[in-house]
Amino acid sequence: MANPSAQPRPRIGLLGTGPWAARTHAPALAAHEGVEFAGVWGRRPEAAAELAAASGTRAYDDLDALLAECDAVAVALPPDVQAPIAARAARAGCHLLLDKPLATTVEGAREVVDAADAAGVASVVFCTLRFAPETARWIEEQRATGGWYVAEARWLGSLYGPGSQSAYAASPWRREKGGLWDVGPHVLSVLVPVLGDVTWVRAAKGPDDTHHLVLGHTSGASSTATLTLSAPPAAAGASLTLHGAAGRAELPAWSGAGDAYGRAVDALLAAARTGTPHPCDARFALRLTELLTEAESRAGAH
């Protein structure tokens, strides 16, 4: 017999049907015991129907109908599609599990923050390194250690490298905005909590979509980052090293995004339940958009 005092699980809908939604969001939502996967909406109804059937839920042709059925939504849409739809979901009273970057314009990102604040809904932005257990623990340890002098980061993706067969290479926004906007949020999501907010930015372009950043932080430390999606496959990889009074600290390897996404769902549920904002929320993502916009502008000036 069911426990009559048991609370129903929060209902969460998925907005988006692309490879990232199909490979990460939908499986994690379907497997999560703390939520009910309420449905899928996408800009291509046939893709929504296919993904919903594969995930044991239903497809919605009408976005507002899904929002009306949900306590929260997970968004897996291109950033400048995500932002207005996320604001719409917030105004409908849905908590927000968002993707990075939140938007590629400061105005778009701010609309989401303002809508979430006005509606009193919680938000979490899925920056993988903030939720993968290995890297999330490391970030907290290094923040507690402090005394860092400089940091150097490299995220060399090969999405557009010779011979790439990645399904994500067909993404128009990634093709337009490149590594700065796709992998830049990952790097900044580590550097900012460990070294403090960014106080100044310098940037220059390298080959293809490569960007080199130099950043100053409120702690007094400085950092460098090299970001690209066009590295030769043999050169691909990600690393981040801190140097300071405690010596050197290397960002550890992390496992796939699925477990991390489940932890992001947990974080959203906790923020919604307690009313305490998560550190990696829409307001943090707005700050990332501000920094990436400044870096893009400064790189273009050279």
Coil vs helix vs strand at 127: coil
Q: What's the Rg (C-alpha) of the chain?
A: 19
pLDDT for 2: 43
> What whole-number distance in Å separates Cα of residue 168 and Cα of residue 171?
5
Q: Which of 178, 173, 177, 226 is nearest to 203 (CA)?
A: 226
Contacts of 137 (CB under 8 A, 6+ apart): none
Q: What is the pLDDT of residue 4?
A: 43
Helix (H, G, I), strand (E, B) or coil at 189: helix
Q: Which residues of the chain have pLDDT under 70?
A: 1-6, 302
Residue 269 confidence (pLDDT): 98
The model carries a pTM of 0.95
| Peptide bond preceding 279 in cis form (omega within 30 of 0) | no
Name the burial class of residue 243, with classes exposed (0-12), middle (13-18) and buried (19+) by CB atoms within 10 angstroms of its CB. Answer: middle
| CA 251 – CA 239 distance, rounded (Å) | 6
